Amino acid sequence: MRPLRAACAAAVVVLGLVTGCAGGPRAAPAAGSSARTVTAAPSVAAAPSGSLSPTSPAAAPGSIFSRTFVNASLTFTGGRLYLTWQSSAQQYPPRMTLSRVDPAGGAIMASNMFSPGVVSDPVYAAGWLWVTDAPASVGDLLLLRLDPRTLMVTGEVSAGSLSRDSSLTPSGHIAFAGGSIWVDGAGQLVRVSPATVSAELTIPQPGANSAEIEASPDGGTLIVSESNSGNGAIQRRDPVTGALLASYPVLGVIAPLFGGVSGTGVWVRDPTGLLGYIERFQTATVTPQAATRVEGSNGIGANVWDGALWVSDEAAGPAQNYCADPATGHRLATLPLPDLAQDYLMTVHAGTIYYSVPASDGFAIRTVPVPAACE
């Protein structure tokens, strides 16, 4: 049995301190059986005075709108807002923190700091929050089950072995389909029981050096991509058995990335080198949908959030930063960000667009209302 992670995490909850450690046992511990030392999450710099947008919530002390962050991402999942961020731009491998955030005022309600490595954006499924963690000191890609409120780890399982001289992993995405958690582990697909946090099935991906995975909101459709040195495929697999049902060949520097299944299609982002494109694929046949392809830089993205498609390509201007019909890709309105030459779309939820702007020591998070045409 491999050694458990020794690094512990901070989980500061309003009106209390919850203790826990990201190196817990593979299965959930019994209630009250774990009490470990915690370390405080690192502080982050305050945003420069006067830099707040008038459309952003009031920046009370401790709010994410009064700070700057390094490599931050925002995720709405399970009805909650989560922030994943890096403690320092100078630290490598990075030390990541996951925080639960109050969407209204931006207050950080709980945080869990992980030991150096790469932590994925969270996914809520089967009553729990799930992340993958590639700690530099362990050599495994770990799937962690967390309490969605306190962010304490309640279960852990290895999803594949990583090279110890690799500080980043091209895998580590999560989907919930067929009643199970699916992970694109290092060169394999792994199906995990949400209840026991144990691997039930492993499907090899021979030669794959990057992968991605996505599921429909109802868990009935499982879409997978993989790539080996630029040659790859987009696949539909059985959500229970993982059996290959359909496949379509693609080219790109990494496996195509997914921006969400909507209706009978999935939006795909494919970086091909200096350039890239987005396109909608029919999930049944895994074939491109006519008249949905949009060319851009290798940073062009397409995400289905709050019932709309959000296309973004940083520094590309109004032409490639807009909301659209998720079924057709038909443009509805330009993103109302103050400066499309530098502002970066983070996420959209409940009529609010969250975006980041460069600051002296990182990026500040701001908000603007969703245009009426996008609702």
Full domain range(s) for residue 116? 10-27+35-48+59-160
Is 273 part of a structural domain of the chain? no
Q: How far is residue 340's CA from residue 337's CA, in Å, rounded to a whole number?
A: 6
Chain Cα centroid distance, residue 237: 21
pLDDT of residue 154: 98
Assess whether pLDDT exceeds 60 at residue 51. Answer: no
pLDDT of residue 65: 96
* Type of residue found at 139: G
Is 230 part of a structural domain of the chain? no
Instruction: Pick 3 or 344 by higher pLDDT.
Output: 344
**Do the Cβ atoms of 343 and 48 come closer than 8 Å?**
no
Mean pLDDT, to the nearest integer, of 95-100?
Answer: 97
pLDDT of residue 27: 34
Tokens linked to 177:
């389909």
Q: Round the average pLDDT of the chain to a whole number and report it.
A: 84
Is 257 part of a structural domain of the chain? no
Is 118 part of a structural domain of the chain? yes
Q: In what order do the strands lie in the sheet with 231-237?
A: 210-215, 222-228, 231-237, 244-251
pLDDT in tens, 121-149: 999 999 999 999 998 877 889 999 999 99
pLDDT in tens, 164-185: 444 444 578 999 999 999 999 8
**Do the Cβ atoms of 131 and 120 come closer than 8 Å?**
yes
Tokens linked to 165:
């001289």
Tokens linked to 128:
């729990």
DSSP string spanning 208-238? -SEEEEEE-TTS--EEEEEEETTEEEEEEE-
Tokens linked to 155:
């279960």
Helix (H) and strand (E) counts for the chain?
0, 31
pLDDT of residue 301: 97
Per DSSP bridges, beta strands 16-21 and 68-77 are: unpaired
**Do the Cβ atoms of 131 and 122 come closer than 8 Å?**
yes
Is 98 part of a structural domain of the chain? yes
DSSP string spanning 14-82? TTEEEEEETT--SSPPPTT-------PPPP-PBPPTT---TTSPP--TTBGGGBEEEEEEEEEETTEEE
Is 270 part of a structural domain of the chain? no
HSE-up (13 A, CA, CB side) for residue 336: 16
pLDDT in tens, 205-229: 988 889 999 999 999 999 999 998 8
Q: How confident is the model at residue 48 (pLDDT cuts 50, 70, 90)?
A: very low
Query: How many separate domains does the chain show?
Result: 1
* Type of residue found at 224: V
Is 204 part of a structural domain of the chain? no
* Type of residue found at 171: S
Is 334 part of a structural domain of the chain? no
- For 39, phi then psi, to 5°, come to -115, 145
Tokens linked to 291:
């008249």
**Do the Cβ atoms of 296 and 277 come closer than 8 Å?**
yes
HSE-up (13 A, CA, CB side) for residue 345: 33
- For 318, phi then psi, to 5°, come to -60, -30
Assess whether pLDDT exceeds 80 at residue 365. Answer: yes
Assess whether pLDDT exceeds 90 at residue 45. Answer: no
Helix (H, G, I), strand (E, B) or coil at 340: coil
CA neighbor of 99 nearest in space, from 220, 13, 206: 13
> Among residues of the chain, what percentage have pLDDT more than 70?
82
pLDDT in tens, 232-280: 999 999 999 999 999 999 999 899 999 999 999 999 999 998 899 999 9
Dihedral, 162, 112, 145, 132 alpha carbons, nearest 10:
-30
Q: How far is residue 12's CA from residue 60's CA, in Å, rounded to a whole number?
A: 18
pLDDT in tens, 300-346: 999 999 999 999 998 899 999 999 999 999 999 999 999 999 999 99
